């Protein structure tokens, strides 16, 4: 058996196109062999495929060396989420183990018992996810209304989570902020085994129902 054959299926691939482009290779010990993050690239599937294969080539790997695929499947706009979901379906068709979860799942999977997650949902709105004890709630707020909501600064919310540092947290005057992209990178040894154990394959999560997302503005 060659060394390449011996190490076959020892790696996992992670991809996120929901609000930016993040992808990386994980070893069987759930540590990053390589990691790429860009706030600029997101929706071009051609660029994403090329960048992933460049990373594989850099490490003398091919898709035959990948055994599991993990995707973030929202929340996000239709275009960003569909790129990830389309790739997930292709990899599933190729008989690779495919898993998916949401950005707001990251702190929950890491054991944060309460908190609130925020992301710019465009169209002047902010998507929020709040959880604590046995309750959780998704909401869309007009950003002006959210700024006026004094409850978001109360201690019982725990930490405030964003995908990455953004002007939104400054607009909301929030403290105790953590970022899911950083948690993904720093806590991979806890996060991905948790996704695997729960066998998560969550469907696309859009900010709005599609009939509302594509409703003409006239």
Question: The domain containing residue 98 runs over which residues?
Answer: 8-103+196-212
Instruction: Determine the pLDDT at residue 92.
Output: 84
My answer on whether 89 and 113 are in the same domain is no
Could you tell me how many residues make up the chain? 218
My answer on whether 40 and 146 are in the same domain is no
Strand, coil or helix: 204: coil
My answer on whether 57 and 79 are in the same domain is yes
Do 122 and 170 contact (CB within 8 A), yes or no? Answer: no
My answer on whether 13 and 93 are in the same domain is yes
- Tell me, yes or no, whether 23 lies in a domain: yes
- Tell me, yes or no, whether 79 lies in a domain: yes
Q: Which helix or strand (DSSP H or E) is residue 148 part of?
A: none
My answer on whether 161 and 200 are in the same domain is no
My answer on whether 99 and 113 are in the same domain is no
Cα 71 from Cα 37, distance rounded (Å): 14
Cis previous bond, 75, omega within 30: yes
My answer on whether 65 and 120 are in the same domain is no
Do 188 and 27 contact (CB within 8 A), yes or no? Answer: no
Instruction: Determine the pLDDT at residue 2.
Output: 45
Closest CA to 54 of 34, 38, 28: 34
- Tell me, yes or no, whether 186 lies in a domain: no
Dihedral-angle region of residue 77 (phi above 0 means left; psi in -120 to 50 means alpha; beta otherwise): beta
My answer on whether 71 and 149 are in the same domain is no
My answer on whether 28 and 76 are in the same domain is yes
Count of structural domains within the chain: 2
Do 183 and 191 contact (CB within 8 A), yes or no? Answer: yes
- Tell me, yes or no, whether 12 lies in a domain: yes
Instruction: Determine the pLDDT at residue 1.
Output: 38
- Tell me, yes or no, whether 187 lies in a domain: no
Do 122 and 94 contact (CB within 8 A), yes or no? Answer: no
Do 138 and 127 contact (CB within 8 A), yes or no? Answer: yes
Q: What is the pLDDT along the chain (218 residues), one digit of tens a residue?
A: 345 444 455 899 999 998 888 999 999 999 999 999 987 755 555 688 889 999 999 999 998 899 999 999 999 888 889 888 888 888 888 888 999 999 999 999 999 999 999 999 988 899 999 998 888 999 998 888 887 765 565 545 679 999 998 888 888 888 889 999 999 999 999 999 999 999 999 999 999 877 776 665 55
Cα 35 from Cα 217, distance rounded (Å): 39
Q: Is the dihedral of CA 206, 110, 128, 138 positive or negative?
A: positive
Burial 12-34 (b: 16+ CB within 10 A, else e): bbbbbbbbbbbbbbbeeeeeebe
Q: Which helix or strand (DSSP H or E) is residue 6 part of?
A: helix 3-6
What backbone phi and psi angles, to 5 degrees, belong to 169? -65, -30
Cα 139 from Cα 128, distance rounded (Å): 5
Instruction: Determine the pLDDT at residue 7.
Output: 45
| CATH code, 67 | 3.30.420.40
- Tell me, yes or no, whether 201 lies in a domain: yes
Instruction: Determine the pLDDT at residue 215.
Output: 65
- Tell me, yes or no, whether 189 lies in a domain: no
């Amino acid at each position: 058996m060659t060394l390449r054959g011996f190490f076959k299926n020892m790696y996992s691939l992670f991809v996120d196109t929901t609000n930016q482009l993040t992808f990386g290779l994980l070893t069987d010990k759930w540590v990053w062999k390589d990691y790429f993050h860009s706030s600029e690239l997101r929706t071009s599937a051609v660029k994403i495929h090329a960048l992933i294969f460049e990373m594989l080539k850099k490490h003398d790997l091919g898709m035959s060396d990948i055994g599991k695929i993990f995707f973030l499947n929202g929340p996000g706009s239709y275009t960003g989420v569909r790129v990830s979901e389309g790739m997930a379906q292709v990899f599933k068709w190729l008989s690779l183990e495919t898993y998916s979860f949401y950005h707001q799942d990251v702190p929950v999977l890491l054991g944060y018992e309460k908190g609130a997650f925020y992301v710019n949902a465009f169209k002047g709105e902010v998507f929020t996810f709040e959880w604590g004890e046995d309750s959780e709630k998704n909401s869309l707020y007009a950003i002006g209304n959210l700024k006026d909501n004094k409850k978001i600064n109360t201690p019982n919310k725990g930490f405030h989570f964003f995908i990455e540092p953004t002007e939104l947290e400054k607009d909301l005057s929030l403290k105790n902020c953590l970022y899911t992209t950083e948690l993904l990178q720093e806590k991979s040894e806890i996060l991905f085994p948790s996704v695997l154990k729960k066998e998560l394959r969550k469907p696309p999560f859009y900010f709005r129902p599609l009939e509302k997302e594509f409703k003409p503005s006239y």
